[in-house]
Structure 1
Amino acid sequence: MSTEALWYAARGTGTTCLLLLTLTVVLGIVARSGRGLAGLPGFAIGAVHRGASLLAVVLLAMHIGTLLLDPYAKLGIADVVLPFGAGYRPLWVGLGTVAADLLIAVVVTSLLRRRLGVRAWRAVHWAAYGAWPLALSHGLGSGTDAGTPWLRAVAMACALAVAGSAAWRCSPSFRILPRPHRPPSPRHQPAAPTTMTPRSEQT
C-alpha cells in the first residue's frame, strides 16, 4: 500500500471512528432512559449502542494499524499504547492514545460485565464520556485535515449531538422509564390448584 493510500485510510478510519464514538455516547444516554428513538424500541437502542461501540473498536484498530505503517507518522507500538511519547505532535497523538485506551477498557469490561458486576462495570463505563472529548481533540489537533471546512463541520455536528444529549441527561426532564414486566414462562408458572371430588360423589 502506498503512502498516500495509508494517509487516506488513516483519515477515513479516524473520522469514522469519531462518528461511531459519538453515536455510542448518544445512544448510551438514550438507552439509559429506556426510551425509543427513531421508531426503535428501547431494547433495540441498546443493541445498536453495543454494536456501534464494537464497530468503533474495529475502526480504531484499523486507524492505529494504518498509522503504524505510515512512514510519515513514524509511530511505534509503544506510541499507540503509552501516551505523549510520540515524535509527531506528541500532545495531540497522546490524547488519542488515552482515548483509545479508555475505549478499549470500556468494551472489554462490557464483554465481562457478568463477571465483574454492575458496579465495577458502570465505574469503568463512565470512561466513555472522557474518551469522546479526547478523541475529538486528537482529531482536530493531529489530523492533517484539521483546518478544512468538512472536518470542522463533522466536529461541530458531533459536539452538538453529545452536548445536547448530555444536557438532556442532566436536566430534570430526564427520567428512567421502568422496564416492562415480563410474564413468567409457562415452565415457571405455579400449577393451578385442583379440586378434589369426594368419593361419595363419584359414581
Structure 2
Amino acid sequence: MAVVTALGSQALWAFGRGSGLVALVLLTASVVLGVSARSGRPLPGLPRFAVTEVHRNVSLLASAFLGLHVVLLLFDPYAQLRLFDLVLPFAGAYRPFWQGLGTVALDLMAALVVTSLLRHRIGRRAWRAVHWASYGLWPVALLHSLGTGTDGAAPWFLGVTALCVLAVFGALGWRLSTRFSARREVRG
C-alpha cells in the first residue's frame, strides 16, 4: 500500500508540474496570438477572423491546464498547497514568495476569464481595461514557474522558458513598433 501511495504522490507531483509547464506555454501562445489578433492581420495558414478564435481557444485551454495544475497540487502532499493559498498570495508553506506569484497569476487569470465571459454585459471598455492585465499575468506566471518549479534550473526547462520569453518579447516588440497598426474597431 505504501508503494502505491508513493507512486500516486509522485504521479500527482509529475502531472502537477507538467500541467503547469503546459499552462505557461499555452499562456505564451495566447499572448502572442492576442497581439496578432489586435493587429487584424492573418497568420500563416489562418485567415484574420480565425486568429481571434484560435487566441480565445488557446486562452481557454491555458486556463484549463492552470486549473488542472492547481487541483493536482492541492492533492499532492509535497506541494502542501491549501485552499486559501489560491486566493491569499504569499502565505503558502512551500516557497511562499514564489508560490504567492502563482496565486497572483491565478487570480489575474480568473479575472480575465470572468470578464471575458461577461464581455457583452460589462462593455468593451471595462473588458479591455481588465484584459490589459494579461501583460502582467504572463511575467508573473513565468517568474512563478522559475522560482517554484523543481525543474527551474534544468537546461531543458530554461530552454522552454527562453523560447517563451523570445516569443512574447518578439510579439511585444512588434506591437510597440511603427510597423504595427491596430485594426480599427467597428462599433455597432
The one-letter code sitting in structure 1 at the alignment partner of 2:110 is I
Letter of the 1:93 partner, please give it. Answer: Q
1:23 aligned partner = 29
Q: Which one-letter code corresponds to 2:81 in the other structure?
A: L
Q: Look up the match of 2:107.
A: 101
Following the alignment from structure 1 to structure 2, what is the Cα–Cα distance between the partners of residues 145 and 15?
10
Deviation at 1:82, TM superposition (A): 1.1
Q: Which has the larger radius of gyration?
A: 1
Question: 2:124 — aligned with what?
Answer: 118
| Percent of residue pairs bearing the same amino acid type | 56
Tell me the distance in 2 between the aligned counterparts of 1:133 and 1:66. 23
Contact kept in structure 2, 1:110 and 1:121, CA below 8 Å: yes
1:66 and 2:72 matched = yes
Counterpart residue number, 1:173: 179
TM-superposed deviation, 1:178: 4.9
- Unaligned runs of 5+ residues in structure 2 are none
Greater share of residues in helix: 2
| Root-mean-square deviation (Å) | 1.3
Q: Distance in 2 between matches of 1:33 and 1:51?
A: 18
Deviations 1:5-35 (A, max 9, x none): 0011011100000001001100000000000
TM-score by length of 1: 0.86
5+ unaligned residues in a row in structure 1: which ranges?
181-203
Residue identity in the other structure for 2:126 = A
Stretches of 4+ aligned residues off by more than 6 angstroms: none
Amino acid at match of 1:111: L
Alignment partner, residue 199 of structure 1? none
For residue 55 of structure 1, the aligned residue among 51, 61, 82 is: 61
User: How many pairs align?
Assistant: 180
Q: So what's the TM-score if we normalise by structure 2? A: 0.93
